[in-house]
Amino acid sequence: MHPPAPRRRRRTADPIVEDRPVARVVVDLPLAHLDRPFDYVVPVSMEGAVPGTRVSVRFAGQEVDGYVLERVAESSHEGRLDRLRRLVSPEAVLAPQIAGLARAVADRYAGTMADVLRLAVPPRHATVEGEAPRAALGERPAAPAPGGWAGYPAGLALLGALGSGGQPRVVWNPGPAANWADLMARLTLATLSANRGALTVLPDARDVARVDAALRGLAGSGHHVVLEAELGPAERYRRWLAVRRGAVRAVIGTRAAMFAPVADLGLVAVWDDGDDLHAEPRAPYPHVREVLLLRAHREATAAVVGGFVRTAEAEQLLVTGWATAMAPERLTVRESAPRARPTGDDHELARDPAARSARLPSLAWRAMRSALPRGPVLVQVQRAGYLPALVCDRCRTPARCAACHGPLQLSARTGPPGCGWCGRPAAAWACRVCGAGTFRAAARGTGRTAEELGRAFPGLPVRVSGAGGVLTNVPGEPALVVATPGAEPDASGGYAAAVLLDGDALMARPGLRAAEEALRRWLNAAAKVRPRSHGGAIVVVADGAALAVQALIRWDPAGFAARELDDRAALGFPPAARAVELSGAAADVAELLALVQLPAGAQQLGPVPDRTGERHQVLLRAPRPVANALTAAVKAAQGVRAARRSGGAVRVRVDPVDLG
């Protein structure tokens, strides 16, 4: 006989805390019907589960993470409450203002708070939390000298308002020769001098480096931190934690920094808000500009929306009176801007009839030859690679991969074409329409352009900046610099000239923002060119009658934005209206549409099938007075589908930047 098994000692239940025993927790579950806090009781062993801490809870039979939003005395839930399972960390990482912002962003973009919090709070790094806290700064920096702001009609008033804790809100379009990074740094220092925090978000690491260097040059190190995704998880969490603990009150960074928990926030600023890098590619797809404007409204801060181009959204802020315009005098703009000429005006077409179809018309060649003895010349090419798009030589049908239907392209002068999606070679390609086996270029990239220019200007250095490697600076000696938009390096003393290729194709792209994006790319490149008084010139290969080309010639981003906004309002598109894009399998989109209760005045456009016919896209739009009602209706329908566990996912994007 076996001896009887020993009796297990009953585990004594951990008592519940007496002070505010109920914790309201937002759980990390991105399901629309669960997008609300849930109540749990707090055991004595987890008394450190204060608002903002990470916890682990039991939900629907599984253990999930979450954040404590608040502790209350009692719950409105009538049933029995589960206990918190584990206190992941006593560090209160979720600041109250960021929790409220996350809720507002989720509602604005028809998403869930859990999805927003994944963007707002970086993953925990336990080793970093255990390090000694960063020492808080001692004396706050002094108010900066005006610098370039003295040349603006209201520049001194802007700095003064920031330095006194005011809340100015401006749409800022600097002049062509402006050192925008230095001006942005002075706004940050003026805010810090009022003992308030500042947050500046920029499109990419190169722009962050410019503002970082400007801040260090003006006030030294220690007053700010840089937050960007390239830092690595440990270092990013270390810097983010220093901000959360209040050791530093100024943050500059890329899109990942828009939710930085800056204490006593006094200024939010975004540079080049039209850059698509400001659009978050993960659900619920928020845009940096909109998140920062929400923060300015909720936290009563100053706001600056800056860029060489003025977007329609920025113009809307001016029209509604939410912000005021900040720009230099027109005389200053004319004196500092380079001379701009199109190749497609009547004079050039009469002189060079081939200019209408030539990629490099004679005006562009003359401008390069004239400017090269005086310094480097920038050539802006819209596509990277060698021949990034191919078409049938006989019928002009786009060349597609037989395996995945992706676009074929050439990556070098020799060798077979390959697929841009799956990478498979297509040595035996034949057109699916006419059967021809030869192709021609539909677009030329930086590699092919640099090769052609190298043959045309033998012995002259040709430098390429783009996807294969981005140059930061080039010397002021004669050279050709071929770059994609956003990758143009700075030239010592400025470029002697710039040639902007493929302008007509850029403006003809499908999409709501094609003309605005074209002007943004052109103005950003033109700002690196010497003023006309120093011989600076720009040639844009495009129709001179186009509104974007005329805005470049006059350097008039304000006038272009006003016309763009008027056109959007007449057509019922953002920002004059709210647009919600639904995309997914045809059956899933149809099911979601059947559940959406559209508010009065809302419209449905579509569905439109893709090339395969398996996925559909629908656009819902509504005027501004019922914009929030439309978003709420879509989110409610998503919740019903999630609760039913029916069908596949439908992607929901609110006011997408690539609409159309």
The larger pLDDT score, comparing residue 465 to residue 646, is at: 465
381 belongs to a structural domain: yes
Does residue 528 share a domain with residue 432? yes
129 belongs to a structural domain: no
Count of domains observed in the chain: 4
Does residue 543 share a domain with residue 445? yes
Determine the Cα–Cα distance for residues 119 and 123; give it in Å rounded to an integer: 10
Looking at the predicted structure, is the pLDDT value of residue 59 above 80? yes
Smallest CA-to-CA distance from 563 within 542, 548, 578, 544 is with 548
How close are the terminal C-alpha atoms of the chain, in Å?
80
pLDDT of residue 603: 93
Does residue 609 share a domain with residue 585? yes
Determine the Cα–Cα distance for residues 653 and 8; give it in Å rounded to an integer: 55
pLDDT of residue 612: 63
Grade residue 521 by pLDDT with cuts at 50, 70 and 90: very high
Determine the Cα–Cα distance for residues 68 and 86; give it in Å rounded to an integer: 12
Does residue 536 share a domain with residue 602? no
Looking at the predicted structure, is the pLDDT value of residue 75 above 70? yes
pLDDT of residue 208: 96
Beta-bridge mates of residue 303: 169, 268
Kindly report the pTM of this predicted structure: 0.89
Q: What is the CATH number of the domain that holds 583?
A: 3.30.70
* Residue written as token pair 């609409």: 659
Q: What is the CATH number of the domain that holds 256?
A: 3.40.50.300
Determine the Cα–Cα distance for residues 570 and 134; give it in Å rounded to an integer: 54
Does residue 608 share a domain with residue 517? no
Does residue 117 share a domain with residue 72? yes
CA torsion sign for 633, 638, 640, 646 is positive
Does residue 257 share a domain with residue 316? yes
Does residue 509 share a domain with residue 380? yes
Looking at the predicted structure, is the pLDDT value of residue 112 above 50? yes
430 belongs to a structural domain: yes
383 belongs to a structural domain: yes
* Residue written as token pair 């005098």: 329
Domain end call among 122, 156, 173: 122
Q: Is 346 exposed, middle or buried (0-12, 13-18, 19+ CB in 10 A)?
A: exposed
Does residue 430 share a domain with residue 290? no
Does residue 294 share a domain with residue 358? no
Looking at the predicted structure, is the pLDDT value of residue 1 above 70? no
- pLDDT single digits (tens) 256-288: 999 999 999 999 999 999 999 999 999 999 999
254 belongs to a structural domain: yes
Domain end call among 540, 567, 594: 567
Determine the Cα–Cα distance for residues 68 and 96; give it in Å rounded to an integer: 10
β-strands 389-392, 439-443 pairing? antiparallel
**Lowest mean pLDDT across 157-166, 442-451, 534-543, 613-622:** 442-451
Determine the Cα–Cα distance for residues 513 and 567; give it in Å rounded to an integer: 12
Does residue 180 share a domain with residue 270? yes
202 belongs to a structural domain: yes
Looking at the predicted structure, is the pLDDT value of residue 316 above 50? yes
Looking at the predicted structure, is the pLDDT value of residue 138 above 80? no
Q: Which of 228-232, 445-449, 631-635, 643-647 ranks highest by mean pLDDT? A: 631-635
Does residue 282 share a domain with residue 358? no
135 belongs to a structural domain: no
13 belongs to a structural domain: no
What is the residue-averaged pLDDT of the chain?
A: 88
Q: Which of 146-160, 379-393, 440-454 ranks highest by mean pLDDT? A: 146-160
Q: Which of 349-353, 437-441, 634-638 ranks highest by mean pLDDT? A: 634-638
**Lowest mean pLDDT across 128-137, 264-273, 328-337, 582-591:** 128-137
SS (H, E, C) 513-571: CHHHHHHHHHHHHHCCECCHHHCCEEEECCCCCCHHHHHHHHCCHHHHHHHHHHHHHHH
- Domain limits for position 587: 572-654
Q: What residue spans of 164-248 are helical by DSSP H?
A: 180-193, 205-219, 233-244
Q: Are 388 and 371 in contact (CB under 8 A)?
A: no
Smallest CA-to-CA distance from 158 within 175, 146, 174, 140 is with 146
Domain end call among 308, 332, 356: 332
